[in-house]
Amino acid sequence: MKKLHELFRPLGARTLGVVLVGLSTCLFVGCGDPSGGSSSPISCETNDDCPSNYTCELSDEEPAEGSDAGVSRVCKYDGGSNIPVVDGPPVALDQLPQKYAEIVCGRIFGCCDEAEKQEVLSEFGGAANEAECQTKAQALFGNLLGQMNDSVESGRATYSADNAGDCLATMESLDCSYGVFPDGAAEPEVCEKTLEGQVEDGGECYSDEECVVGECMGQEWSENGEVTQPGTCSTGFAIGEACEWSDECVEGTYCNQEYDEDTGEFVGTCEKIGDVGDACGGSSQSCKDGLFCDQQYDSDTGQTVGTCKAPSAVGESCDSGGCVDGAYCETYDPETGESPNVCKARKGEGEGCNYGQCNESTYCKVAEDGSSGSFSGTCTALKAAGEPCESSDECMSSWCGTSASNPEAGNTCQSDGSTDGAMCDGA
């Protein structure tokens, strides 16, 4: 869990939405945020195999030394949400810390169990009740949001009290079934318009939100997260220049992070996003939209090499993955005992299956004895919210969990991809 000063140092004076969501994502991982849950990674071949707000990407773990297996693909959280905006009364800039504290502390005491609550409250130095939480949080947020006030007073940004009110009202309206904030990424468009930049390209800035276009680059921060040296608004670093985040690089490039064994740190460099046939790393950003990075382990060199490829259509060859949406890679035919490695259309209800072969409205239910041999399962209709489940694969929402507000119900399919209690990983 990040400490608060570590969180806000890279953010500077972010928009209200980013501040609200960024802080909450780090503070409330244990209160129902699926991006921080303890469930095991879900294997996949395409995005169809993954829960909402997840994409199918290459695993960060390389095959064991000497293995001839390709790099596996797992579902990775990519944030995002579509939360309807709630109209709220205007919130003046000097009222933000108080209102923000009320929302955050209300979530802590309304959505977290006792253990989670104590962990979160430790970030504020502890609090015996919600009122004390609000007092401490308001003081802390007042300091953290101070840069926003500086941005407005200096003319580097404009503040909208109306948009702030709608943003906060939207956050406050969400019940605990969404998690503390939905999928850890509830950022309605109105939140992004709370603070709008006025600094042109090349101008001095203290945060990204002060820039009309591009990002604020080159700032320096103190230990407590204050900007001690302003940066410059820029559309991004060029290919070959050092970077920390992909949004720092010019359009058409990404920040490629490589581990430096001498320093023990990751070093980033802006590199071109790959086209078909270009070399790539494990990041989904390393290839253009619509392509994927096909990584293969070379047992001779002990290295994993990747190539940007277009996903194969039904009937075309494949290698464990890389098929278009609605298809899967058939790597073993039980009737012939051969490995055809060809993309096939996903199967429907009642058809025999192995994991990852059923269409989007079904899941592969294995034999009652729990065996997982080839084609031991049957594609079965997905379960609705509230139905008992053992694995997230069984649910329409792609999430199975135990609700802290109704633990006696056991593991049930959740309505929105999050729970307010423990996660079920199907173990």
The residues that bridge with 45 in the sheet, in sequence order, are: none
pLDDT score recorded for residue 355? 82
Summarize pLDDT for 25-60 with one digit per residue, the tens.
334 333 544 333 333 456 776 666 665 556 666 655
- How high does pLDDT run on average in the chain? 75
Q: Tokens at residue 14, please?
A: 């972010």
CA distance linking residue 270 with residue 242, whole number of Å: 6
CA distance linking residue 86 with residue 165, whole number of Å: 9
Q: Which residues of 16-54 are buried (b: 16+ CB within 10 A; e: fewer)?
A: bbbbbbbbbbbbbbbbbbbbbbebeebbbbbebbbbebb
The model's pTM is 0.49
pLDDT score recorded for residue 26? 36
pLDDT score recorded for residue 284? 52
Summarize pLDDT for 184-225 with one digit per residue, the tens.
444 567 777 888 999 999 999 998 889 998 888 888 888 877
Q: Could you tell me which residue, 82 or 190, shows the higher pLDDT? A: 190
pLDDT score recorded for residue 188? 62
**Chain-centre distance of CA 426, in angstroms?**
21
CA distance linking residue 395 with residue 51, whole number of Å: 9
